[in-house]
Homo-oligomer: A and B are copies of this chain.
């Protein structure tokens, strides 16, 4: 049971966490803080949060658990504001989509209290954002990755694990490095690739002609290009090394396929497309067995 839960950033993720924990009866009080007064007012009016603090540090004072649910670019400044009000029994955690940079920020901002910070990443995005899109089932059956620090006491990790399990999520642990490499490939790259296609077409003088004829394949391929630009700018910059490596690998692969088409090498093209198609069908089958 979390007596006083502070959530900084009451958007899709922060708001859904509050709703899920309340419904599960796992928290007595949720105090929120963040930017965007209209969004915060809505969170309070809808009962997503019980109280609105006027600053992140005011929300954190006296809290058992503090969750940082803001774009990863905002973490360093936020941690610096929270550090002075941390008490010995407080656990600090986050929902950032990258982990090495957040861990580095925690080491800088928290000093000897870094062991009280348990890094976490719930794998539950949506192109919608803001508290209006929040719902108590967002994390049900989804993965949450913890990347614990050597300094974390077991009890602190257990507390964050229990919080996410209480939302219906499956909790796994990885190292921050492994986390960042894996998600650069399966999440950050596809997002940037979808953004890139929309940006390319939107910049054309006759973009309306293209968009009018775009169908269901285009719809699904580009869905994640509707995501929050600030969040994805922050992720790309925070996970720069792995993201650039993945973009380079992807550009090379596209250039290879481009050359096969340009030279009319139907056999090699067929082999590449067959491998891809088979892998996609196998992936979908595997996911059906363990839906996330």
Contacts and interface: CB of A to CB of B under 8 A. Distances in A.
Interface stretch (A18-26, A52-60, A81-89, A235-243): A235-243
Contacts of A199: 253, 257, 272-273, 275-276, 279
A276 B195 contact: yes
Contacts of A276: 194-199, 202, 225, 229
A197 B189 contact: yes
A274 B191 contact: no
A286 B211 contact: yes
B226 A201 contact: no
Given A186-B201, A213-B143, A258 B275 contact: no
Contact of A269 (B187, B220, B233, B262): B233
Count this chain's copies in the assembly. Answer: 2
A284 interface: yes
Interface residues of A, number: 87
Contacts of A200: 249-250, 253
A232 interface: yes
Contacts of A255: 251
Interface in A235-292: 236-237, 240, 243-244, 247-251, 253-255, 257-258, 261-262, 264, 266, 269-270, 272-281, 283-284, 286-287, 292
A272 B195 CA distance: 8
A257 B217 contact: no
A258 B269 contact: no
Given A198-B280, A200-B250, A233-B266, A125 B187 contact: no
Given A220-B220, A251-B255, 13 more contacts: A125-B215, A125-B216, A125-B217, A192-B257, A196-B254, A198-B275, A200-B249, A200-B253, A203-B275, A211-B283, A215-B292, A229-B273, A250-B254
